[in-house]
Chains A and B, each alone.
Chain A
């Protein structure tokens, strides 16, 4: 009995590990191919020959613009995917996303303040990041008034902060110059990687990488939070503290991404669903696949955003165009959405 149970466990675990390794390799290969495509696509034609020959213009475009843009698309998509997984698991809601606790609306408000008061790209990024973090801190502070620590209180506080930020944003839009500032605010909200340059991404990238590593290490605790609060507590989880840490980390990472790119729709929602479709479960491999899928989706959408028209289009148009059919497919398939 002991032997047969051991052998069943080992064979099942090794089969799952083998399958996941193959899928992981395929996803990484796909991501590398799409990232390579992203390096090649753009208004300014690049040639490998000139680049290797040390052409100054070619080098500037490649390293300052294309490389940094591709890196942000890959890592930004990965972070949105992983954080989407975290939000959906912690809130036990397949439609949960960073919006649920006010990240996006806070970032939009921060970006609007940056556009109206400072104007420089770096200041807009910093202001959007601060807006996102402040709005989430406010949501968590409001929710702490309820001593029971229910996650529904966090959602309600997030809705209140979202409404508040939207109201403030509307007031700022009214005061904005319609020709220049209002257009910039609207364009920022639609999301684009056009303004990403190598000089702006260092700090945000570091935050994203560090938090992603910590979130991956915390995957078991995140999945335990998907149980009822009392049940999770009786499994030895300090529910309120762990949930606060996980949500705060995910929010910081998302803030670091959206402050660079503007709002990007659907990646955080869809990537985890696609990953679950692959793994048919919620475990660390699902989290990793959410990241890889997020990177693939955002990088693909960004390639389309700068290649289908004469002028560059907002990336969210394409994330939605890719996302909506996938969402319909997933809904019809009936998986992961219950």
Chain B
């Protein structure tokens, strides 16, 4: 399925001040993949994502589409990657449409403003996340879940090669989680791009991600490919992070297979 590497991390170590969180992490993400990062709180998932975004300094080598991350300008990096933080820092009064239009900034010159085609595209993305009727409403008045959907629309407004998402579903309801991650998966299936997503819900990860990296104490301890690994392998690897659990295969009413996780 993988045609080429979009992200390649080799020997990445990072942390905050003298506190080293990540220890010599290496992995890669190929085209059309949705790669989930699973692990307990404080294991280093967000730190890894922030390193790839260059929000915090790191040691090691990270390449995006074959280009060394350190040699990319902010604009070049933003052209290749979109990013959804755990919580967006936008706290001023601004319309949802204007928030989505921010996503076009990497394509615009410093004094340029978004054109009509960009506005239409932004509206289309808002429509995709069910917010088209609230485009002119104040983003700050939205619930946390609606804000996350709005930021998802912003991250998908351009076709980036890599989508980096830090617990994008944390504020969403049950339906919203699947809506968001199905939308992401759909984009990666139809376009030559991929997504790296940190998640807290292993069941969601098993059903959405093409590959899961299990992080523990700042290291990748194992990997799961839900379409390839059998249930006992998945149980064994997930147990390393979450303790005893069982994975079951169920069929939904639509006939689609779903993996269900039970904590033992």
Chain B proximity mask over A87-127: 1 for CB below 8 Å, otherwise 0: 00100100000000000000000000000000000000000
Which residues, 48 to 77 on B, are CB-close (under 8 Å) to A? 50, 53-55, 73-75, 77
Q: Which residue of B lies closest to A277 (CB)?
A: B93
Measured CA separation A238–B82 after assembly (Å): 15
B124 touches A236 (CB 8 A): no
Which residues, 202 to 235 on A, are CB-close (under 8 Å) to B? 217-218, 220-221, 223-224, 226-231, 233-235
Measured CA separation A283–B55 after assembly (Å): 27
Q: Which residue of A lies closest to B83 (CB)?
A: A234
> What residues on A are CB-neighbors of B40 within 8 Å?
none
With A227-B102, A239-B74 known as contacts, the answer to whether A280 contacts B138 (CB < 8 A) is: yes
Interface size on A, residues (CB 8 A): 39
Q: Which residue of A lies closest to B85 (CB)?
A: A231
B93 touches A234 (CB 8 A): no
Binding site of B, secondary structure by majority: helix, strand, loop or mixed? Answer: mixed
> What residues on B are CB-neighbors of A217 within 8 Å?
111
B78, B92, B132: which contacts A89 (Cβ < 8 A)? B92
A227 touches B127 (CB 8 A): no
Measured CA separation A12–B120 after assembly (Å): 12
Tell me, yes or no, whether B237 is within 8 Å of chain A by CB: no
A226 touches B90 (CB 8 A): yes
Say how far A20's CB is from chain B's closest CB, in angstroms: 12
Chain B proximity mask over A23-57: 1 for CB below 8 Å, otherwise 0: 00000000000000000000000000000000000
> What residues on A are CB-neighbors of B5 within 8 Å?
none
> What residues on B are CB-neighbors of A236 within 8 Å?
74-75, 77-79, 105-106
Say how far B121's CB is from chain A's closest CB, in angstroms: 9
Q: Which residue of B lies closest to A284 (CB)?
A: B113
A234 touches B138 (CB 8 A): no
The interface centre, meaning the residue of B50, B54, B79, B120 with most chain A CB atoms within 10 A of its CB, is B120
With A234-B77, A235-B105 known as contacts, the answer to whether A92 contacts B92 (CB < 8 A) is: yes
Tell me, yes or no, whether B249 is within 8 Å of chain A by CB: no
> What residues on B are CB-neighbors of A336 within 8 Å?
93
Which residues, 107 to 127 on B, are CB-close (under 8 Å) to A? 108, 110-111, 113, 116, 119-120, 123-124, 127
Tell me, yes or no, whether A13 is within 8 Å of chain B by CB: yes
Say how far A233's CB is from chain B's closest CB, in angstroms: 5
Tell me, yes or no, whether B103 is within 8 Å of chain A by CB: yes
Say how far A101's CB is from chain B's closest CB, in angstroms: 19
> What residues on B are CB-neighbors of A281 within 8 Å?
93-95, 98, 138
Tell me, yes or no, whether B136 is within 8 Å of chain A by CB: yes
Tell me, yes or no, whether A311 is within 8 Å of chain B by CB: no
Stretch at the interface among A3-11, A70-78, A294-302: A3-11
B111 touches A282 (CB 8 A): no
Tell me, yes or no, whether B255 is within 8 Å of chain A by CB: no
> What residues on A are CB-neighbors of B75 within 8 Å?
236, 238
Tell me, yes or no, whether A276 is within 8 Å of chain B by CB: yes
Q: Which residue of A lies closest to B87 (CB)?
A: A228
B95 touches A233 (CB 8 A): no
Measured CA separation A12–B135 after assembly (Å): 9
Q: Which residue of B lies closest to A147 (CB)?
A: B57
Q: Which residue of B lies closest to A234 (CB)?
A: B83
Tell me, yes or no, whether B91 is within 8 Å of chain A by CB: yes
> What residues on A are CB-neighbors of B74 within 8 Å?
233, 236-239
Tell me, yes or no, whether A167 is within 8 Å of chain B by CB: no
> What residues on B are CB-neighbors of A12 within 8 Å?
97, 135-136
Measured CA separation A268–B225 after assembly (Å): 57
Tell me, yes or no, whether A199 is within 8 Å of chain B by CB: no
Q: Which residue of B lies closest to A241 (CB)?
A: B74
A5 touches B82 (CB 8 A): no
Tell me, yes or no, whether B20 is within 8 Å of chain A by CB: no
> What residues on B are CB-neighbors of A229 within 8 Å?
55, 89
The interface centre, meaning the residue of B50, B73, B106, B110 with most chain A CB atoms within 10 A of its CB, is B110
Tell me, yes or no, whether A338 is within 8 Å of chain B by CB: yes
B110 touches A234 (CB 8 A): no
Measured CA separation A92–B91 after assembly (Å): 7
Say how far B66's CB is from chain A's closest CB, in angstroms: 20
A230 touches B53 (CB 8 A): yes
With A227-B88, A236-B78 known as contacts, the answer to whether A8 contacts B55 (CB < 8 A) is: no
Q: Which residue of B lies closest to A94 (CB)?
A: B92
Measured CA separation A238–B72 after assembly (Å): 12
Q: Which residue of A lies closest to B103 (CB)?
A: A235
Tell me, yes or no, whether A16 is within 8 Å of chain B by CB: yes
Q: Please name 11 pairs of A and B residues whose Cβ atoms are closer than 8 Å in the assembled complex, sorted by A.
A: A9-B123, A12-B97, A12-B135, A92-B89, A92-B91, A92-B92, A218-B110, A235-B78, A236-B78, A238-B75, A281-B95
A binding-site residues for B, Cβ under 8 Å: 1-2, 5-6, 8-10, 12-13, 16, 89, 92, 217-218, 220-221, 223-224, 226-231, 233-239, 276, 280-283, 335-336, 338
Not counting A1-B127, A92-B89, A226-B94, a sample of 11 additional A-B residue pairs whose C-beta atoms are within 8 angstroms of each other reads A12-B136, A16-B136, A223-B98, A227-B88, A227-B89, A233-B54, A234-B78, A235-B78, A236-B79, A236-B106, A335-B93
B binding-site residues for A, Cβ under 8 Å: 50, 53-55, 73-75, 77-79, 81-83, 85, 88-95, 97-98, 102-103, 105-106, 108, 110-111, 113, 116, 119-120, 123-124, 127, 132, 135-136, 138, 140, 164
